[in-house]
Amino acid sequence: MADAASARALDRREQWLADYGFGLRVHESGTVVSIGDGVAWLSGLPSAALDDIVSIEDGGDALIYHLEPDRIGVILLDADSRLRAGARATLSGRQLQIGVGDALLGRVVDPLGRPLDGGEAPRTAAMRALDDVSPPLIHRAFVQRPLYSGNKIVDTLIPIGRGQRQLIIGDNGTGKSALALDTVLRQQGEAVRCVYVLIGQKRSDAASTIAALRDHGALSYSSVVVADANALPGMKYLAPFAGCAIAEAWMAAGCDTLVVYDDLSTHAKAYRELSLLLRRPPGREAYPGDIFYLHARLLERATALSAEQGGGSMTALPLVETEQGEIADYIPTNLISITDGQIFLDQRLFAQGQLPAIDVTRSVSRIGGKAQHPDIRDQAGRIKLDYLQFLELEVFTRFGAKLEAGVEERIRRGRALRQALKQPRFEPWPAAAQMAWLVAYNEGLLERIAPGDMTAAMQQLLDHCRHEQAAVGDPPDRWRERVHRWLEKGHGAVA
């Protein structure tokens, strides 16, 4: 091994001597003027351009972020304690890139691709720019294949297609990350490669997410990009672009990918912090004027490619936090307008124990219905209307008014549906089981089950579908026989 390394070094020296030529060479050199809070100001370097990499003496690399006539604002990419004012800075001639490829499966890395899991550096076969243009329209295809989340509400009432951008929105602590994590777990065996981006999370929360992926076997087809709460603001800013570049490389290779941005509220705050530190003009709520463009250029890279381009897809699940359920705030409204729909999690439903706390009335999927399996779409066609009508009718029961028999029947069906929609964490449902409970509801079988026994009955229905090896495309009559046989065998307590 030592002889081989010496031979390679000798070859490099000989190649350098062969390429060497006498002539005048001009090198630019700059100086660090000031440092603080993850940014630095440099003087000199007249040829510097935005997004170039600057090498600082004894201080690692920095990204050029802001240009002024007499100085340059840079984002520090390394927290090196040796960095001091007066240090020499030079242009590296490089753009910011990250290693991509299958070597990142099962790995935890930072936004520059450096390992955080204690292993050696991933031996990636290619590099890809973090910030790249989105695929042109002629390279895109329609979203027409489903991406199952494993959640009964989402897969039936708010479906997601491969290549879609679906926003998950709600207050802190309502289960946004849990829903995104369950969606990643559901992709096991689906040939979907996942990238989970953790932005500004506490280290304990990041470790908990990684442990959940590992414990449920999801880390084998996933890659995790982490910029935790202690990271430099520049790393938090770059984290979603790094995750997007990793998923984009797989998409370009013809694979289906899923990328989760957890969360873009923290990302927007990091961008605002950098912009204010480098004295960019503030706008609404002190965010810079290009905050909409920042997230648009990130999320527009998620798409389904045409067959001529390999047929790959990238599905994006950005998360955004609201305060007191106010979806009309600046960042949430920006993301709602960029994405193809939103899943809204409500604090009131969470407090009532309706988990997952998805508010069907304020959730929508604008294009996912076209990707939904036809049989599931047919069975779920009237459920959302039934549920919305039930929520309106249930209000009258609070006044103790006497209701007509037909109204009482609809309320009873609605309450059974609400109980059936509850689902614990880490238990994503396969598509066949989704079909089973839809048929059971439409056949009126769920109303025969006592509300307190609904959770156990739904688990037994899930086991029943697995035992019979049910498939979504089975004939409707066979599905009816299957769910009636499930109830006749004593699954669930009859009310």
399-409 confidence digits (pLDDT tens): 666 667 777 78
Q: What count of Cα atoms within 13 Å lies in the side-chain half-sphere of residue 95?
A: 10
Residue 214 lies in a domain: yes
- C-alpha separations of 16 from 2, 10, 157, 208 in Å: 21, 10, 64, 49
The total of structural domains in the chain comes to 3
Domain shared by 85 and 114, yes or no = no
Residues 147 and 65 both lie in one domain: no
Three-state secondary-structure class, residue 111: coil
Residues 288 and 179 in one domain: yes
Q: Which residues contact 200 (CB under 8 A, 6 or more apart)?
A: 227, 228, 229, 231, 236, 266, 267, 269, 270
Domain CATH for 249: 3.40.50.300
- Please report whether residue 331 resides in a domain: yes
Shared domain check, 127 and 61: no
- Asked if residue 3 is part of any domain, the answer here is no
Question: What's the DSSP call for residue 190?
Answer: T
Q: Is residue 9 part of a domain?
A: no
CA distances from 72 to 27, 50, 64, 298 (A): 17, 9, 7, 25
Same domain for 318 and 428, yes or no, is no
Domain containing residue 434: CATH number: 1.20.150.20
pLDDT, residue 213, reads 95
310 shares its domain with 185: yes
Task: Give the residue among 323, 302, 304, 317 at the shortest CA–CA distance from 181.
Answer: 317
pTM: 0.90
pLDDT digits (tens, 9 = 90+) for 412-430: 888 888 999 999 989 899 9
Is residue 114 located within the same domain as residue 33?
Answer: no
What's the CA gap between 384 and 158, in Å, rounded?
10
**330 and 233 fall within a common domain:** yes
Residue where a domain stops, chosen among 94, 115, 147: 94
Q: Do 361 and 287 have their domain in common?
A: yes
Catalytic residue IDs: 366
Of 45, 64, 94, which one is at a domain's C-terminal end? Answer: 94
Query: What letter represents residue 341's amino acid?
Result: G
Q: What is the pLDDT of residues 8-44, one digit of tens each?
A: 666 777 776 777 777 766 678 889 999 888 899 999 8
Co-location of 57 and 144 in the same domain: no
- Work out the number of other CB atoms within 10 angstroms of the CB of residue 494: 12
203, 228 contact by CB (below 8 A) = yes
Residue 184 lies in a domain: yes
Q: Please say whether the beta carbons of 280 and 75 come within 8 A.
A: no
The secondary structure of 18-62 as a DSSP string is: HH----------EEEEEEETTEEEEEE-TT--TTEEEEETTTEEE
Residue after which a domain boundary falls, among 44, 67, 94:
94
Say if 83 falls within a structural domain. Answer: yes
- The stretches in the chain having pLDDT less than 50 are 1, 492-495
Pick from 60, 63, 35, 32: nearest CA to 49:
63
Q: Residue 321's beta-bridge partner residues?
A: 170
**Token duo for residue 84:** 């001091």
What is the pLDDT at residue 495?
40
CATH number at residue 42: 2.40.30.20
- Cα–Cα distance measured from residue 301 to residue 241, given in angstroms and rounded to the nearest whole number: 10
Q: Are residues 355 and 478 in the same domain?
A: no
Range of the domain at 453: 378-488
- In a domain, residue 183? The reply is yes
- Which residues are bridge partners to 129 per DSSP? 97
Residues 157 and 237 in one domain: yes
In a domain, 357, yes or no: yes
CA distance 347 to 169: 11
Would you state the pLDDT for residue 80? 76
Contact 62/77 with Cβ under 8 angstroms?
Answer: yes
